[in-house]
Amino acid sequence: MRIGTLARGAAWTVGGLSLLVALLLVLLLGINWNDRPPSAATHRLERVLAERPAVADEDNGFVYLLGMPVPRDEDPATWGVRRKAWLEATTSASRRPYVLPGPAAQAAASSPETDPCKEAVAACADALQSDPAALDTRIAENAWRVERYEALLSRRRWLETIPAEPDMPLPQYQVALNAQRLFLLDTWRRARAGDVAAVRERLDRDARFWRGALANSDLLVGKVIAVAALRRNFAYGGLALRELPADRVQAAAPPSWATPLSGEERSMLRAMAGEWRWSSSLMRRNAEAGTKPRFGERLSNPLWKVQDSINRYADFIVGFADATGAPYAQLGAAMAGTMPTSSFDLYNPVGAMLHSVAPHAYPDYAFRVADLEGLRRSALAAASLHADGVARHDAPRALAALPESLRDPYTGRSLQWDAGAGAIGFAAHGRYGRPSDTRIPY
């Protein structure tokens, strides 16, 4: 009798729990029956992308960069135009994996620079000075690469092509960065020969080009590449200026170094709008193909609302991009205030879970951009100290005496002197692999 009572009780319990689960599922399905319309932030990002200024292919640095990897006997400008058209075209899924059309990429130079010169540190200058003839040989062997880079710098505008499909290949930016290193090493060589005008013009031309790319990047990777190129311009430029007599340093300092980073250059809006379009395209394609997030079960599809997920991402991007315009001292707190919190949402729970995780990597990218201002000030400070003939042991005192415009942008305190490296720097906020990324050799 007791066993029968227990069995009936267990059956009622299991049945009640099953009914409760079923009711909860019906409730969840009812809540998630319809997707939401595009939000105001979604419309704003669509306008940002739609209102980008038109740029002719022949004047577009991005288009030329697309063609730079082709072999020496091919025309980069021609292949850049063809590859841009291919990226813009709607491509059949049957053609995946996607490969940029055209000849195979050029083979890398066997040794375009010595190992110490992979980064602009004091060891690089020591290596160059110990064997300047070796640099002459490397520049001569790679003259065509330098010529291509100068052709890239001659393009006055920058407009990136956002691929039509999310898994289309990106340009081979490293080809341009390798050529930039050769160009800047050649600039160092000209400084050593005392050619002040060439040093000033070449450093200025290089900095202006990449500052234009920084301000007009429509993909996060393009923004990051522009940051890397400008860091290198400041650091290698510092090495070049060291080769000149003190009374000629100020005349060789490029005018573009004197201009602080603008709000347009610091802004993450356009770059992240491009990322939003890329992510939106991926989400829509997955939805159309009937796929789902990898961790989801078969039931998760009805609980994943594509347009609402796109809206959540857009809302975050607009708020985050606005925060990146905050004063340097308040930048961290401003961005932290836009980060989504982990919370369960009955509506679109899968999208809410994804959204609570994805955006937290973005502040580092914004800090890398903002850090350029500290590096620009460090480069100018080094030039100022060289022009005044300041010895290394007097550098801390001289840095403390510099005006507010040549202080750490985040703290307002004087720039830092790294005695071990013999370099000038600041309290960088972005994450980097090497200290030399935020130090100017003195």
pLDDT in tens, 192-224: 999 999 999 999 999 999 999 999 999 999 999
Torsions phi, psi of 104, nearest 5?
-60, 150
Provide mean pLDDT across the span 108-137.
Answer: 67
Report field, pTM of the whole predicted structure over 0.95? no
Dihedral through CA 158, CA 164, CA 166, CA 168, nearest 10? -80
Cβ atoms 268, 223 nearer than 8 A: yes
Do residues 244 and 196 lie in contact, with contact meaning Cβ atoms separated by under 8 Å?
A: yes
Residue of 175, 161, 163, 168 lying closest to 67 (CA atoms): 175
The pLDDT, as a whole number, for residue 168 is: 80
Residue 40 CA to residue 45 CA, distance in Å, equals 9
H helix or E strand, kind and range, residue 425? strand 423-425
- Any idea what the Cα angle at residue 67 is, between residues 66 and 69, rounded to 5°? 100
Tens digit of pLDDT for each residue in 290-326? Answer: 544 444 444 446 777 888 889 999 999 999 999 999 9
Are the C-beta atoms of 395 and 418 separated by less than 8 Å?
no
In which residue are the tokens 């080769």 written?
A: 243
- For residue 343, which amino acid is it? S
Sorted by sequence, the CB contacts under 8 Å of residue 42 that are 6+ apart come out as 310, 311, 314
Helices (H), 167-305: 173-192, 196-216, 220-242, 246-252, 263-266, 269-288
Contacts of 194 (CB under 8 A, 6+ apart): 244, 248
- Residue 118 is predicted with a pLDDT of 67
Q: What is the mean pLDDT of the chain?
A: 86
pLDDT band at 121 (very low <50, low <70, confident <90, very high): low
